[in-house]
Structures are given as structure tokens and as C-alpha cells.
Amino acid sequence: MTTTASDSPGYSVESYFGLVTSGDLAADDRVELLEGVIVAEPPQEPRHASAIMRLDEAVRAAMGKRAVVRVQLPFIAGPFSAPEPDLAIVPGSPGDYDGQHPSAAVLVVEVADASLPQDRLSKQRIYAAADCLEYWIVNLRDDCVEVYREPDVAGSRYTERRVAHSGDALDLVAFPDVHVSVTDLLPARAVR
């Protein structure tokens, strides 16, 4: 399901959150705002859900209390985008977000299978334009992590890309002494 406002180029973040207040969207609807378009999120397959749990556990263990780790919560990436990345590391403390969603992140991560094209194209542009230092795609199709760095805000793209595989370690740009094992992020494939 994709919905746009008919009398404008799209929904703003304010009008999007207003849809919950007005009752047009339920707070638990699985949707997010991407470039003015309300996009439905598909149900999570078990492997996707497992990857999110693994990601959360590995990043929290590596980060400790240095920053806030948020899982599948809104991130204000601009006036027309409020994605809900599978994980985001944002500055500050949890109390900083009692009255607002974060609009800065040092790392955003999406777990991708069916959503891989959207995560590579639309979301990469959105996160680069929001000046997120680093963007990872936990690519379940190819059992790897795509790492995007060096955001070109004006060009809405990342200028550095690399692929990490099981056995590799990922360090964070904002916290170079923090390392996350790719092996810890990738769930096993189902035996058929």
C-alpha cells in the first residue's frame, strides 16, 4: 500500500504524524514516510526478525552506554522522510528523545531481503541526504553486510561502499574502537 496526499507533492513529517493524532493511521500500523510517500512495511519473515534481534544484541554489546541504540523507531531524515530503520545509533541519552524523534544518527542499519532494492536506492539517498555518517544493509539475500560511508549530502549519496562477509569485523566511523562481527549479524539459512 502506498498513499500520497492528492493536493501536494507528498506528506510532510508533521502531516504524517498528524495522521496518527487524527486517527487516520494507528500508532501500530507498519508504515513509514519516505520522500513524502507513506509506504507499508511487509510482514517480517523469521530470518529477517532474527537478523534484527542479532543486530540489536551485537551493537548494544559493542557500544555499551556511549550512545542511544534505537530499534525500528522513527528517525526524522528531513522534512518529508521519517523512516524507521531496523537499528539506529543516535547521539545523546534516551531522555533527549522524550519529546522528539532524533534527526541525527551516526549509524543507521536496514535488514534487507525483499526490500533490498528500496534499501539500496531510496533509503540510501534519504540517509545520505540526512548526513548519517554510516549506513549498513544487512543483506540476507547474499549473506553479507553492505557498508556505505562518506555521505555526499548535496548529492544524496554515499561516496564509499564496501561489502563485508561472515568472518569480517565492522568498525564504526564515529566509534573506531567499536567492532561488530558480521558473523554475529547473519542468521542461519533454513534447512530445506
Q: What DSSP letter does each residue of the chain carry, written as one string?
A: -EE--TTSSS--HHHHHHHHHTTSS-TT--EEEETTEEEEPPPPPHHHHHHHHHHHHHHHHHHTTSSEEESS-----BTTBB---SEEEESS-GGGGSSS-----SEEEEEESTTHHHIIIIIHHHHHHTT-SEEEEEETTTTEEEEEEEEETTTTEEEEEEEEETT-EEE-SS-TT-EEEHHHH-PPPPP-
Say how many domains are in the chain: 1
pLDDT tens column, 152-186: 999 999 999 999 999 999 999 999 999 999 999 99
The answer to the question of residue 176 being in a domain is yes
Residue type, 168: D
> Residues of the chain with pLDDT > 90: what percent?
83
The answer to the question of residue 61 being in a domain is: yes
CA distance linking residue 148 with residue 184, whole number of Å:
19
- Examine residue 72 and state whether it is found in any structural domain, yes or no: yes
Please check whether residue 111 is in contact with residue 86, taking contact to mean a CB–CB distance below 8 angstroms.
yes
Per-residue model confidence (pLDDT) at position 3: 44
pLDDT at 191: 62
Cα distance between residue 187 and residue 76, in whole Å: 29
28 domain residue, yes or no = no
Cell numbers at 59, concatenated: 551493537
The pLDDT value recorded for residue 185 is 97
CA-to-CA distance for 182 and 192, rounded, in angstroms? 24
The whole-number average pLDDT for the span 17-43 is 89
Q: Which three cell numbers stand for residue 113?
A: 531481503
Q: Does residue 6 have a pLDDT over 90?
A: no
Q: Within a domain: residue 39?
A: no
Confidence of residue 130 (pLDDT cuts 50, 70, 90): very high
What is the mean pLDDT of the segment spanning 21-43? 89
- CA angle centred on 52, ends 51 and 55, rounded to 5°: 85
- Tens of pLDDT, residue by residue over 78-98, are 999 999 999 999 999 999 999
Residue 164 sits in a domain whose CATH number is: 3.90.1570.10
**Segments forming the whole domain that contains residue 177:** 44-185
Q: Is residue 22 part of a domain?
A: no
In a domain, 151, yes or no: yes
Query: Residue 192: its pLDDT value, please?
Result: 59
Query: Is residue 4 situated within a structural domain?
Result: no
On the question of pLDDT at 7 being above 60, the answer is no
